[in-house]
Chains A and B, each alone.
Chain A
Amino acid sequence: MSQVDAVAASAPAAALIRRRPGGARVFARRSPLGAIGAFLMLVVILAGLAAPVVATHDPTRTDATQTFTPPGPRHWLGTDHLGRDIYSRLVHGARVSLAVGIACALLGGLGGGAVGLVSGLAGRRVDTVVQPLLDIMQGFPLLVLALVMTAALGPSLGTVIVAISVPFIPRVARVVRAVALGVRETTYVEAARAIGAGGARVALRHVLPNTVAPLVVMTTAQLGSAILVEASLSFLGLGIPEPYPSWGRMLSVSATEFAQRAPWLVIFPGLAISLVVFASNLFGDGLRDYLDPRLRI
């Protein structure tokens, strides 16, 4: 069974979660690693939201007397070549990384969901046009497509979000289409059509709810990828421009020049990226196992 078919097969699980009271507790018991991932994500989200409160310094303020200060009581994670506090930049950077990650996952999820639904339900003609288009979009390596799009549109927060979301659309669309194709043939959809339900009603009331579980799984999986791609774009100098403190750009600035002199410039931003992506992967894996253990890989 391919991954797409397998995710599609998990569709009835959506209804299962809705009916189950105390879902979060059951999830934590069944998937402790997933719960740890969810907890870590929550911590980073809260840290990002409360950045102005939990940050110890202004993340953009430079201090010529405090350059390359090693981690210590005054600067918990040290300072960079301009004397900026690494911890405060990391906390503020969490906002950027998570905002980009969540926005891309949602946009990719919504776009892919809509395309997948239309492709699966609108009939053979539409499907014949949409499928090769998805093939074409999926043929590009994610980072290469994102690089070209940011190059064409110019680096900005909006551009980065669009550039990362667009490559997600075909990946999500394939999963949703597979679910839609399966649900389309069920007897309850046939019954709904027989009593006069139109295409939009069938799509929104009967098919869409069945795509929720695979969509949630896919969206969580894309979250980590989006954060990694944003970090790579920023590292290459094509990500989110100043004044936003971005984790990827923190690595880019310090990359070659100061790494030997001040290794904390390299270690902490990379750890932050890895930790968030690791947490989102743990959560995504847990969610997938919870929704359908057959998908466990």
Chain B
Amino acid sequence: MRTFVVHRLGLAAVTLAGMSIVIFVLLRLAPGNIVDLLFSAAGYVDPAEKQRIVHELLLDRPIAVQYVQWAGALLHGDLGKSYRYGLPAAQLIGPRVPVTVELAVMGMVVAILVGLPTGIVSATRQNTATDYGLRIFSLAGLSMPAFWLGMLIILLLVRVTGWIPPMLYVPVRENFGLHVLQFLFPALAVGYRSAALINRMTRSSMLEVLREDYVRTGRAKGLGGRVVVYRHALRNALLPVVTVVGTEFAFLIGGLVVTETVFNLPGVARFLVEAILWRDYPVVQNLVMLIAIVVVLSNLAVDLLYARLDPRVRYA
């Protein structure tokens, strides 16, 4: 197991280094440099000020030097400075992280609570009306844009209850109930897609396991349907589902970008969109790198968990 962990950690580090190069190069594909873009909207530009920012961003140095400086600063926790706000990016990003983490976790909880049971029911009642209904429900989840679902939820809430989720962030200490409600609806919007995927994977995995000999043996020796399904089949069927849950985390971040915007939640994902629209590239670069780190770590966690659950993986 130790060799496996070391190998996977090494691979994660190499992937992160590669991702950092991709991000760095991508944001330099824009015609002109970042300072030109920053000043493009301004009327009169003080050349000295422009030169100062060029120097500050190391744009007068070779690109390899720029990369090494940026990566080094990042490794030391220096996220650079926002040119829109004139503040250190860490100061702006810090308070937004809990918002995004909370939404992501709640979205994932919704996805698992909805996706797993519906997947089991779909598999145990294969090719019945319930199965077809649940399959259409899951396909619909994969087809609806998360932001549209969010808008529909708001629209419906206003029409039916006359209530609209607060458009200003309510901290948990200020009003716990309202805080949970504020996050519940975006979590539903963002979790539906993941629920659909978990449903499909659980169904397919359960169908495969339910045909195994040991399940037939369990039934033959008189075990009840529930015991066979939940104790024997589900445990083994969950392995591929764990992978989907882990990889979905990356997709969830994509969903958060639009959902935070619709529900006006001051999270990291919405801040990324704002930074892109304001061309605050130092912030964009660091935020995308932070997202990459989260994705790589979640993939690593899935791999390690998978190896823990299935010994065949670590000996492969």
In the complex, which residue of chain A has the Cβ closest to the Cβ of B262? A255
| Closest Cβ–Cβ distance, residue A272 to chain B (whole Å) | 10
A142, B250: Cα distance in complex, Å = 9
| Closest Cβ–Cβ distance, residue A255 to chain B (whole Å) | 7
- A144: B residues at CB distance < 8 A: 253-254, 257, 272, 288, 291
In the complex, which residue of chain B has the Cβ closest to the Cβ of A142? B254
B27 within 8 A of A: yes
A181 within 8 A of B: no
Q: Which of A68-76, A82-90, A129-137 contacts B (4 or more CB under 8 A)?
A: A129-137
CB <8 Å contact, A260 and B139: no
Known: A235-B258, A259-B151. A149 touches B144 (CB 8 A): no
A126 within 8 A of B: no
- B272: A residues at CB distance < 8 A: 144, 147
CB <8 Å contact, A139 and B296: yes
Partner of B30, one of A135, A141, A154, A255: A154
Partner of B254, one of A141, A266, A285: A141
A258, B2: Cα distance in complex, Å = 58
A111 within 8 A of B: no
CB <8 Å contact, A281 and B142: yes
Known: A147-B272, A274-B144. A136 touches B19 (CB 8 A): yes
A153 within 8 A of B: yes
A236 within 8 A of B: yes
A11, B288: Cα distance in complex, Å = 37
The majority secondary structure among interface residues of chain A is helix
A18 within 8 A of B: no
In the complex, which residue of chain A has the Cβ closest to the Cβ of B27? A152
CB <8 Å contact, A135 and B15: yes
| Closest Cβ–Cβ distance, residue B142 to chain A (whole Å) | 6
Sample of 5 more A-B contacts, CB < 8 Å, known A228-B143, A270-B145: A137-B22, A148-B26, A251-B147, A270-B148, A274-B140
| Closest Cβ–Cβ distance, residue B5 to chain A (whole Å) | 18
CB <8 Å contact, B203 and A297: yes
Known: A144-B288, A147-B272. A231 touches B145 (CB 8 A): yes
- B273: A residues at CB distance < 8 A: 147, 236
Partner of A140, one of B147, B151, B159, B292: B292
A105 within 8 A of B: no
CB <8 Å contact, B148 and A136: no
A63-112: which have CB < 8 Å to B? none
A196, B276: Cα distance in complex, Å = 54
A202 within 8 A of B: no
Q: Which residues of A contact B (CB under 8 A)?
A: 132-133, 135-137, 139-144, 147-149, 151-154, 224, 228, 231-232, 235-238, 248, 251, 255, 259-260, 263, 266-267, 269-270, 273-275, 277-278, 281-282, 285, 296-297
A132, B26: Cα distance in complex, Å = 18
- B262: A residues at CB distance < 8 A: 255
A276, B200: Cα distance in complex, Å = 20
B113 within 8 A of A: no
- A255: B residues at CB distance < 8 A: 151, 262
In the complex, which residue of chain B has the Cβ closest to the Cβ of A271? B148
Partner of A132, one of B18, B148, B159, B203: B18
Can you offer 19 A-B residue contacts whose CB atoms are under 8 A?
A: A133-B18, A140-B292, A143-B254, A144-B254, A148-B276, A148-B288, A151-B27, A151-B279, A152-B27, A154-B30, A228-B145, A232-B258, A236-B257, A255-B151, A259-B154, A266-B148, A278-B139, A278-B143, A296-B204
CB <8 Å contact, B142 and A224: yes
CB <8 Å contact, B15 and A281: no
| Closest Cβ–Cβ distance, residue A105 to chain B (whole Å) | 16
3 nearest A-B pairs in the assembled complex, by CB-CB distance: A297-B204, A143-B254, A270-B148
CB <8 Å contact, A136 and B145: no
B265 within 8 A of A: no
| Closest Cβ–Cβ distance, residue A170 to chain B (whole Å) | 12
| Closest Cβ–Cβ distance, residue A70 to chain B (whole Å) | 15
- A281: B residues at CB distance < 8 A: 139, 142-143
